[in-house]
Structure 1
Amino acid sequence: MISLDDMMVFAKVAEKQSFTQAADELGIGKARVSQIITKLEKSLNTRLLHRTTRSLSLTDAGARYYEKCRAISELVAEANSEILEVDQVPSGTIRISTPSTAMVNILSEFLHQYPEIKLDIIESDSYSNLIESRCDIALRASSDLEDSSLYAIKLGYFCDMLCASPTYLANQQKIETSEDLLHLDWISHHIVHGDKQLRLTNHRGQVTLLPHSPKVQVRTSASVKEFVLNDLGFAIMPSFTVKKELAQGKLIRILPDVHDLQIPIYAVYQEKALMPLRIRTLIDFLKQHEEAFG
């Protein structure tokens, strides 16, 4: 089988009309260049060059072959140039799975910074198989990988906390201990926290389990927050979904000494060695904005 590399060697010889000059530009020995041309002629069963001790010229067949080789060389250069130009400016579509609409702000900032990138976002708190869902990247509060070909990188931490609205708390007795939660209405994220018991973990890692039946069960963080904002009870909520409401006083954190669980959040992705620039850019951006998850 004729090698494309051998064809490019012939094209260089034809261009320079010299074995010596071609060898110098290609960085190989003159003897090696001669061997390649001889092998190429034997493979084609055609003489490509007229050789004398003083000159070198193309045969008619060699001239036609050179034109084809030059066209191939130009096409390869054009293809490489286009890819390099694309890689200089992150662009294209990223399909991303994210657990909450709270990521909208940080992803909006990313899009403002990289306007040539488009996002196809799958918002779901359910566990989503990265490969089956055809996602480029998934943000997860777990590093568990469903496939050995996947990779995960830690982006930062968020805090799992107990929250309720001021209006709801105003109608309740003072909340001082974990047992006081049993007298409150629980809004449960069924996928994350279930419907049988509250699992509370303090900053020292001590765990308290409280049997409790939720007043409302939902399956997205957004719905949990809306029910809590509507003064229907308390909930365990990730800090990045309630940061704004806490700052505005619309929500109040309760019993921070009882539940203060720091949870890592990961970016999970498929490719590593040949990762597209747009994916690498997003991961680097998220790593630099760790505060968005806190």
Structure 2
Amino acid sequence: MISLDDMMVFAKVAEKQSFTQAADDLGIGKARVSQIVSKLEQALNTRLLHRTTRSLSLTDAGAHYYEKCKMIGDIATQANAETQDVNQVPSGTIRISTPSTALVDILSEFLHRYPEVRLDIIESDSYSNLIESRCDIALRASSTLEDSSLYAVKLGYFCDMICASPTYLATVGTVDTADDLLRLDWISHHIVHGDKQLTFTNNQGQTTHLAHTPKVQVRTAASVKEFVLNDLGFAIMPSFMMKEELAQGKLIRLLPEIHDLQIPIYAVYQEKAFMPLRVRALIDFLKQKENAFG
């Protein structure tokens, strides 16, 4: 009978594309790893790996077998983690990348609920590589997720809006059409909107393009908001960042018939099987806060 442990050894070799790295990760000798893989191939009567002195690659059969081994490993690890976590309390540090300080209230509520959890927060609007930045979770606002190797949970939607302060609008006159925005100064979030053209999308999916040059370019949504509140121009901003200011009349929404774009926000993470209880608790908590993002 083929051992599940041997299957997991093969899966590690396939993942690392190296006997040496797999042996290091598993804490066993390289010769033992090679022996296990050879034994598997004999038992299956199938070559799983192409080996040369310089490289290692999966055969078609090996690739298919690896996917099945990985699936079995994920299920086993998840079962063990869930069983171990039954009577545990979330604790320890979660490293999270988030695009906005506007989510501080939500994260504060999570910390009150789980006082043994600590947060290490990276505030950044740029694409966050989870591996390089050593993040457990990244919150991403995007219509498309560019990295298919990551897992993602949709937390909800927010609305992208054009807005400006009433003090600034009093100096520039009425704004009734997209072309009227050409008379106004544009505060651009360079990472999101660039510096040459604005694109507006209404709730019917119709788009309007407007060539414009920004008065100010910044790289965080928080900076965009501050420049707009300082009466320096208009900007496109996410609804969750300016709920309070809209309610208080400190900001005014412009041309909702031109731009009313719903954008999903995701919690993105690397692995399901090895996810600590504290990270699962945060994802589950955020999923319950769908209305907080709108």
- Normalised to the residue count of structure 2, the TM-score between the two structures is 0.70
Q: State the distance in 2 between where 1:238 and 1:87 align.
A: 39
What's the counterpart of residue 231 of structure 2? 231
Which secondary structure state, in structure 1, belongs to the residue aligned with residue 242 of structure 2?
helix
Q: State the distance in 1 between where 2:245 and 2:119 align.
A: 26
Which secondary structure state, in structure 1, belongs to the residue aligned with residue 192 of structure 2?
helix
What's the counterpart of residue 176 of structure 1? 176
Which secondary structure state, in structure 2, belongs to the residue aligned with residue 275 of structure 1?
coil
- Normalised to the residue count of structure 1, the TM-score between the two structures is 0.70
Deviation at 1:84, TM superposition (A): 4.0
Q: State the distance in 1 between where 2:243 and 2:270 align.
A: 31
Distance 1:136 1:85, change over 3 A: closer
1:87–1:277 Cα contact (<8 Å) kept: no
CA-atom RMSD, angstroms?
A: 1.6
- 1:157-210 deviation line (CA, Å, top 9, x unaligned): 010000100100111121111111111100000000000011000000000000
Which secondary structure state, in structure 1, belongs to the residue aligned with residue 132 of structure 2?
coil
Q: State the distance in 2 between where 1:116 and 1:270 align.
A: 23
Q: State the distance in 2 between where 1:87 and 1:96 align.
A: 25
Pick which of 150-159 and 135-144 moved more.
135-144
Q: State the distance in 2 between where 1:144 and 1:221 align.
A: 19
Q: State the distance in 2 between where 1:179 and 1:229 align.
A: 22
Kindly provide the amino acid, as one letter, of the partner of residue 100 in structure 1: S
Q: State the distance in 1 between where 2:147 and 2:262 align.
A: 23
What's the counterpart of residue 267 of structure 2? 267
Instruction: Map 1:100-249 to 2 at 5 A.
Output: 100-142=100-142, 143-146=144-147, 148=149, 150-249=150-249
Q: State the distance in 2 between where 1:271 and 1:215 align.
A: 42
Q: State the distance in 2 between where 1:284 and 1:232 align.
A: 39
Q: State the distance in 2 between where 1:112 and 1:105 align.
A: 11
Q: State the distance in 2 between where 1:275 and 1:200 align.
A: 39
Q: State the distance in 1 between where 2:85 and 2:124 align.
A: 35
2:98–2:140 Cα contact (<8 Å) kept: yes
- 1:263-289 deviation line (CA, Å, top 9, x unaligned): 001110012123211111100100100
Q: State the distance in 1 between where 2:275 and 2:87 align.
A: 11
Q: State the distance in 1 between where 2:125 and 2:139 align.
A: 10
Deviation at 1:140, TM superposition (A): 0.3
Kindly provide the amino acid, as one letter, of the partner of residue 182 in structure 2: L
2:85–2:277 Cα contact (<8 Å) kept: no
Distance 1:112 1:216, change over 3 A: same
What's the counterpart of residue 60 of structure 2? none
Which secondary structure state, in structure 1, belongs to the residue aligned with residue 108 of structure 2?
helix
Q: State the distance in 1 between where 2:192 and 2:85 align.
A: 44
Q: State the distance in 1 between where 2:286 and 2:85 align.
A: 24
Q: State the distance in 1 between where 2:291 and 2:214 align.
A: 31
1:154–1:265 Cα contact (<8 Å) kept: yes
Pick which of 272-281 and 222-231 moved more.
272-281
1:129–1:146 Cα contact (<8 Å) kept: no
Q: State the distance in 2 between where 1:126 and 1:162 align.
A: 21
What's the counterpart of residue 94 of structure 1? 94
Q: State the distance in 1 between where 2:87 and 2:158 align.
A: 32
Kindly provide the amino acid, as one letter, of the partner of residue 272 in structure 1: K
Which secondary structure state, in structure 1, belongs to the residue aligned with residue 268 of structure 2?
strand
Structure 1, unpaired ranges of 5+: 1-79
Number of aligned residues: 212
